[in-house]
Amino acid sequence: MKKCTECKKGEMLELSAKTPEGFEYNYFKCNNCDEEILNMKQLHTVAQKYREMKRFNAKISLWGMSLGIRIPKELSKKYNLKENHEVAIIPEKEGMKIIPI
Ligand SMILES: [Zn+2]
């Protein structure tokens, strides 16, 4: 067991939590003074998850009676999307997932 470097009395317990984006990560928390730390491995893991979740912004526009979004070039390349390709739109709790079919 790791001793707490802050109060020098407690033990650091490994716990897990979620970032606001929903990434689970581990951290250590002192069972005496509540000091919380991440070691380099834990920090690396959560940083890697953030890097993988690169965000793209797109504006919604009106196309006829429907709404459309422009897919950024980088993403259409990555997923090999071409004009007239069909995709599946899967509703999820906090948004939609677009799957090439
Ligand atoms: Zn402590």
Q: Please state whether the predicted TM-score (pTM) of the whole model is above 0.75.
A: no
Q: Which CATH number fits domain 60-100: 1.10.287, 2.10.260, 1.20.1550, 3.90.1200?
A: 2.10.260
Distance CA 10, CA 40 (A): 21
Centre of ligand 1 from the C-alpha of residue 6, in Å? 5
Centre of ligand 1 from the C-alpha of residue 28, in Å? 10
Instruction: Tell me the torsion sign for CA atoms 23, 26, 32, 34.
Output: negative
For CATH 2.10.260, the residue range(s) in the chain are 60-100
Centre of ligand 1 from the C-alpha of residue 58, in Å? 45
For CATH 3.10.20.860, the residue range(s) in the chain are 2-52
Chain segment 41-57, per-residue pLDDT in tens: 999 998 888 888 777 88
Measured between alpha carbons, how far is residue 34 from residues 8, 39, 75, 82 in Å? Answer: 12, 16, 43, 53
Centre of ligand 1 from the C-alpha of residue 16, in Å? 18
Tokens of 57: 């912004």
The fold for domain 2-52 equals Ubiquitin-like (UB roll) (3.10.20)
Centre of ligand 1 from the C-alpha of residue 43, in Å? 20
Q: Is the pLDDT of residue 1 over 80?
A: no
Chain segment 4-51, per-residue pLDDT in tens: 999 999 999 999 999 887 888 999 999 999 999 999 999 999 888 888
